Structure 1
């Protein structure tokens, strides 16, 4: 599709950065302290970037303001620094990039790739592919009964046949996760995404957005989740504990890193080593890191 010159320049700059080498990222939502599962994913993402002699960016996904908790962004940075997982460049806040996302939305709307949708989640049911209820209707973009419509993307079956039309702007006015993430991967020149495998299902949606933008997606790799003693995945919503109790017990960063690495069989149980020492260890045994990553490149 045709973009305004300023958007074209943004995406071309991202493509140039991709061509310069590996660029990864860690992108937590500041909805609470990072739990150990988040930190293990950050560790693997950092290691994957460093073993490729690449860049590793820190992006804070803080668009969904009702979920944000005061101090969570600063806490995440402190935890990463304490573990030695240092990032390249400034911290990137999605809340400071709303103008970019809105410009992309405007371009998609001018190209008639968006349509207003007034279906509620209750009407659709959980986890269902959108059936296209509003696709052919002319209900307008103005408020009805005091409520604005969501903005849905017309997803071409040739791009993602199992995806369905995606919400890119929610009815409450918030930019949707799939749009912001897809745009950032392109604009920031991200070549590789390493994240928890609970996010593997969103690849289709984000690839669909990137396809409409006439660009190529990054490579996606996913890390197994960390579970608690009861077999439940760790969750900020369930207030899973992070570094604080371990630091209160007197554990060092090296001991915590050893525990996280041992949980993926990267080092023996009881190991204590720094992030740089773990990187050096895996330079000798790179297959250990690859064994714990699921690749979704197709």
Structure 2
């Protein structure tokens, strides 16, 4: 697998077309875009649309329209993971031939019974690790494919908080790379795309920090180093609950119904990061220009004043 050079900053924004973007998604998009533009780099737009049963009709068009309305321009064509299935299948086949994968037939009920620390995903205990591999149908079901993780720490750079470190076998566990329904798993597709597109910096919500260990494990198997991560604290409502697409958290449509235009929405998002005073009206280009006039150690080093690990 030929990897793109990481000699220049290259970021990405990767929403899933499962519904409209809420305010937290929009804030992440804004900060990711600003981070790339302040570094003089590129900002790619990737749609993580592999899980087709969860995709919603019209969601992709809505995401693109919202970003354009906020004048968050991306570089190059839109990348759709659904158009890259053949590539992911090739990587899976190579890992299987190398003996790095094994079939897992554990049921959802069994996996649901695995306990985990509060807020952390459960760690697969390796029930199928030593069983004789059977890759075909059994009881009318195919197995999922798991990556056999090596012992030792998984390390990655974090721009907010302490450097990332998880023990591969004790804290991450053998990662599913292909689901039993045949769908390529999120961790494989994400890891492959970060590498092939030469992503240097990933700016995303803190709810995805747990995913870093699994994705870094895949990158290590492919002989590559991970990008730098900046996991943002989640935007929560007045009762401390995280915003959610499922609960219809307010996005562009709701904000526009309140009479807010693009500069007012950018001002709202930027004020939540302490980049501008409350009530500011400012376009994305104006905000970028203001930040560029700040001292270099503030404007380009990723030290956003409203963020705390």
> Which deviations, in whole Å up to 9, do the C-alpha atoms of 1:144-198 show, x marking residues without a partner?
1100000000111135323210000000100000000000000011000000111
The structural deviation recorded for 1:113 is 0.2
Does the 8 Å CA contact 1:31/1:68 hold for their aligned counterparts?
A: yes
Aligned to 2:130: 136
CA distance, structure 2, for counterparts of residue 213 and residue 159 of structure 1:
16
Q: Is the 8 A contact 1:222 1:293 kept in 2?
A: no
Match of 2:148 among 146, 154, 165: 154
Contact 2:13 2:32 in 1 (8 A): yes
Quick check: 1:119 aligned with 2:73? no
TM-score relative to the length of structure 1: 0.91
Structure with the larger helix share: 1
Q: Secondary structure at the match of 1:290?
A: coil
* Match of residue 167, structure 1, among 176, 190, 193: 176
* 1:284 CA drift (Å): 2.8
Alpha-carbon spacing, 1:129–1:115, altered in 2? closer, same or farther (3 Å)? same
| 2:271 is equivalent to residue 284 of structure 1 | no
Equivalences, count: 282
Partner of 2:204: helix, strand, or coil?
Answer: strand
- 2:27 corresponds to: 40
Q: CA deviation at 1:201?
A: 1.1
Q: Is the 8 A contact 2:11 2:32 kept in 1?
A: yes
1:202 Cα deviation (Å)? 0.9
1:252 Cα shift?
Answer: 1.1
CA contact under 8 A between 1:221 and 1:294: conserved in structure 2?
no
Contact conserved, 1:60 with 1:94, CA < 8 A, in 2? yes
Cα RMSD over matched residues? 1.5
Tell me whether 1:208 sits opposite 2:217 in the alignment: yes
Distance 2:88 2:230 in 1: 25
Q: What is the CA deviation profile of residues 122-151 of structure 1, one whole-angstrom value per residue up to 9, with x for unaligned ones?
A: 212363211111111014011111000000
Alpha-carbon contact 1:22-1:192 (below 8 Å) kept: yes
Structure 1 unaligned runs (5+)?
1-6
| Alpha-carbon distance, 1:33 to partner | 0.5
* Counterparts of 1:237 and 1:251, CA distance in 2: 23
**CA shift for structure 1 position 121:** 2.8
Partner of 2:72: 85
Q: Does structure 1 conserve the Cα–Cα contact (< 8 Å) formed by 2:273 and 2:307? A: no
List 4+ stretches of structure 1 deviating above 3 A.
291-295
CA deviation after TM superposition for structure 1 residue 59, in Å: 0.1
